[in-house]
Amino acid sequence: MNSERHERVRELLFSALERPPAERDSWLRDAAAGDADLVAEVHSLLRFHVEESDEAPSTGSGAATEPQPGDLFANRYRIVRRVGRGGMGEVFEARDETLGVTVALKRLVRADLIHDESFRNEVRLARQVTHPTVCRVYDLGEHEGERFLTMEFVDGEDLASLLRRVGRLPTERVAEIGRSLCVGLAAAHAQGVVHRDLKPGNILIDSDGRTHITDFGIAVLQDDTNSAFRSAGTPSYMAPEQLVPGAAVSELSDIYAVGLVLHEMLTGEPVFPGDSRTKVLDQRRTVALRRPSEVVSGVDPVLERVVLRCLRTAPNERPASVLQLAAALPGGDALGVAVDAGVTPPPELVADAHRQQPRPANDRSFQWFVALLVLLALVAVGMSSLGYFPAAPDDIHPQVRAHRAAALLRELGAPEPELGTFRGYFLDPTSREEAQSLFFWYREDGPPPRSTFQRTVLDPAQRMVIFDGVPTPRTTANLVVFDEHDRLVHLSMGVPGPSPQSDSVAVQGSAQRGRLFEYAGLDRARLVPQDPELSPVLADSVWAWSIADPRQPDREVHVELAETNGRAVYFSAGMPEVEAQPLIESRLNRVNLLNVVSAPMVLLIAIVGVVLAVRNHRRGRVDGVGTRRLVVFCAATFFLSWLLLIGYLPHPGIHHGELLASRFIFLVVINPLMLFVIYPAIEPGIRRFLPRALVGWSRVLRGDFNNRDVGWALLVGCTFGCAWALLGLVDKVIAREVGGVVTPGIDHAVRLQAAQSLAGTMAILLRQIIDAIARSGLTLLVFLLFRMRLKRERWAWVGVVLFVGILETLVSGSYLPLSWLVVGLPVVLSGVWMLRNQGLLPYIVAGFTANSLRFVPISIEANVWWARGGMLVLLVIFVLGVTGLVMIRSRKRDFSAGFSSHGA
């Protein structure tokens, strides 16, 4: 082709393009005047022609045209305006016509097609992070060979232009933005996403002043070492390790960038103004880092320390995580940041929270202490005057009654006990009166059954000599029961004495009978013979009578007597008919609903617990140290209480050795083992959603007892516990006045145990510690389950109030709507208030205090035989309160914050 022909082609091509495409072919044929080669040449060129819309294309893109406002891009996005140009491409504000929302549309200019892989990275990674502080990425699309990205549109200004406009920012604003950056980065880091290119240009401040981090564009997963873009980033804001090819880049690189951004916000100038890697490297080699205070005056020293700490060259000298960084910021609130970021703070961070804060001048700790003393006094007076115990046995020490019972057995020819003696009280479970009959029992255990056959045929019910009606040779215990007026109501001989022929000392026959009726306080002359109800199979002779109760003439007493070889083996006078395990049984009858509900509930909780624990383990959220210590503590506490309870039987029908063994297995082995599952199931979730509640608790688990948080927990917890105990008394008064059901059942059983001895009281107190922890665990589990479902913390608390309120009503209380309203609801509400605002530790202390006061009988009359246990409880609560007060008011400085102690 020569020049003239080339010139001719030029004319035809240009003129053809001026015509509408449809007319071009025909026009061209005419214009070429039959020169087919010419037409072919022009056609060939037309294929390579690309419209050029802009006279002077600013982007250098000849092919792709820049969308103009009003254009519909990719048939979906109506372009509103161009808002900026990032490292990846141009950014437009656009309206998604399909969904009717405003999006930011980031378009890849053609020359940057090579960045495509990094673009895909941006989408893949950024989509994993969903947090208000992190610009949401919606979608990656393709339009006419170009890739574009849609993301959340933030109507605001980037920090770079804000700084250009206003110079530097005030300290509070710097700290605030710094905190927001920590929140966003914490959320991203929790997903394993490192930003890698954090800089003022990537930080948007919206019209409400909220901070958004955008452009997770070159972020790569930390373990993705093969990425070609490992050293991508903006040189001025890169951490030193990012400038060295192949060096490890981690969250710590982002922390460095935060340091640079903070520095720039404080001073208004970039730390490294260079725009190329070489320049920045050069600056870093040659120019010493200037402290913010060297650049401008009036820099907050705390912020400056943080900045310099972040800007350490060695990554491991920087704050170890953004949460630690947040903790170090002025007013450092690492836990708030963690909650806002939706991440689980590590336990050490929780334990170190708000240590730095000085004690307020007027913290009202003394007022709390006075309140505690007043409440404690009210509870003590109220409890001893309202009377926990049925009146009669109060003044007779159980030791005295045991002597009397033993004397009776000796009179009847029973041998000296071989295996030990046990004694205790039980209540008439058939009585619904508050002043229930309180029975004293005394048991002497003989040798165990000789053959294994005998042992195996013993079922639990039969071993309860008192309740199986017939004394049998298989039983190996002698049992005596007195009622509250010290009258004999039951006798059963399981261990036969020496045969009567060879024993002349023992009172026999009619004389023996006379002693029994004397002990029973019955006049033999007034006995009316009846048909015996007992089967005489195992006895030689059986008699039955009825007689009017000398104390309550309108009441008829049924009396039965059985003899073998002329010796009484069974005697019963007015003993209530009860089934096996009367106390527990009647209890369950009352709370049948709870019983029905609780079995599947326990199973459900166990399953949920295992699932949660496994998940937390897998995500590495479990507090291993805390779990181990808690388990050891619980095992030790249970073991101690087990030791203290040796020799105590809660019920006459229980075998002591078996009770000890089963108690040991359940208390000392199984319960702590269950904690191994339950604690890792619950704690990490609480640490995530309510980290502030765990501050005092975490410190105690880490052996840090003497600090203000623990002090407050003791003081507030004891005060609330006393208040709850007082409300319990109010409940009692209401029940008495309105006529509700008073169910002292289990309470009384435990109280009786506590009353038996000081060891019993201490065992009860130890158990209350564990119980309080377990109850708080249940409350928190309920909270956690609601919280995970409901998303909103407030509704989760409402769920807790309802659930725990109903549960508490079923377990205790008087079943009166009035008392639930006046007593139950305030207790539950104040418990929730305490959990939210004061934390777990005071909640546990309050639970311990309230239940100690509830389960140990309190009397301020020192001469009552059971007063010592009550005094012990009052003393313990008082000491706890004083300890708390001393801790709070201690002049000792709190340990320095975790930031400086955990940095390196």
Partner 1 sequence: MSQDPRTQVTEIIERLTSGDTAGERPEVLLPLIYDELRRLAGSYLRRERPDHTLQATELVHDAYAKLVDQSRVQWQGRTHFFAVAANAMRRLLVDHARKRGRDKRGGGQQRVTLQEEILVLPGFDVSMADLIALDDALTELGDLSPRQSQVVEMRCFAGLKVDEVAENLGVSRRSVEADWTHARAWLRRKLDEDGPR
CA distances (Å), origin 340, targets 9, 187, 374, 592, 692: 68, 9, 40, 43, 13
User: With respect to partner 1, which residue has the nearer C-beta, 279 or 410?
Assistant: 279
Judged by the rule CB under 8 A, the positions of this chain that interact with partner 1 are 1-3, 6-7, 9-11, 13-14, 17, 44-50, 52, 55-57, 59-63, 87, 110-112, 114, 232-233, 235, 276-278
| Least Cβ distance, residue 45 to partner 1 (angstroms) | 4
Q: Which residue has the tokens 């037309």?
A: 46
User: With respect to partner 1, which residue has the nearer C-beta, 257 or 765?
Assistant: 257
Spell out the residues 6+ positions from residue 292 whose beta carbon is closer than 8 angstroms to its own: 263, 266, 267, 299, 303, 304, 307
The string of DSSP codes covering 677-700 is: HHHHHHHHHHHHH-GGGGHHHHHH
- Shortest CA distance to 182 belongs to which of 159, 207, 213, 153? 213
What span, in angstroms and rounded, lies between the C-alpha atoms of 259 and 178? Answer: 9
- For residue 544, the cross-strand partners are 530, 560
> Amino acid identity, residue 377?
A
User: With respect to partner 1, which residue has the nearer C-beta, 218 or 873?
Assistant: 218
| 90-96/101-107 β-pairing | antiparallel
Q: What is the 8-class DSSP label of residue 897?
A: P
Consecutive H or E run containing 93: strand 90-96
| Least Cβ distance, residue 75 to partner 1 (angstroms) | 25
User: With respect to partner 1, which residue has the nearer C-beta, 86 or 521?
Assistant: 86
User: With respect to partner 1, which residue has the nearer C-beta, 59 or 830?
Assistant: 59
User: With respect to partner 1, which residue has the nearer C-beta, 115 or 423?
Assistant: 115
Contacts 24+ apart (CB under 8 A), 808-817: 810/591, 810/593, 810/594, 811/591, 811/594, 812/743, 812/747, 813/731, 814/731, 814/732, 814/734, 814/735, 814/740, 814/741, 814/742, 814/743, 815/740, 815/741, 815/743, 816/734, 816/735, 816/738, 816/740
Return the SS3 of 139.
strand
197 part of the active site: yes
Structure tokens at 843: 């909640």
Per residue, what are the HEC states of 189-227? HHCCECCCCCCHHHEEEECCCCEEECCHHHCCECCCCCC
User: With respect to partner 1, which residue has the nearer C-beta, 14 or 705?
Assistant: 14
User: With respect to partner 1, which residue has the nearer C-beta, 57 or 382?
Assistant: 57
Q: Which residue has the tokens 């065992």?
A: 763
User: With respect to partner 1, which residue has the nearer C-beta, 201 or 745?
Assistant: 201
What span, in angstroms and rounded, lies between the C-alpha atoms of 713 and 700? Answer: 11
- For the chain, the maximum distance between any two Cα atoms, rounded to a whole number of angstroms, is 155
| Least Cβ distance, residue 4 to partner 1 (angstroms) | 10
| Least Cβ distance, residue 60 to partner 1 (angstroms) | 4
User: With respect to partner 1, which residue has the nearer C-beta, 276 or 662?
Assistant: 276
Per residue, what are the HEC states of 412-461? CCCCCCCCEEEEEEEECCCCCCCCCCEEEEEEEECCCCCCHHHHHHCCHH
What span, in angstroms and rounded, lies between the C-alpha atoms of 405 and 425? Answer: 13
CA distances (Å), origin 68, targets 51, 61, 472, 574: 15, 15, 103, 101
Q: Which residue has the tokens 């955990």?
A: 902
Spell out the residues 6+ positions from residue 864 whose beta carbon is closer than 8 angstroms to its own: 394, 395
Return the SS3 of 306.
helix
What span, in angstroms and rounded, lies between the C-alpha atoms of 170 and 265? Answer: 8
Which one of 197, 254, 300, 709 is the catalytic residue?
Answer: 197
Q: Which residues are catalytic?
A: 197
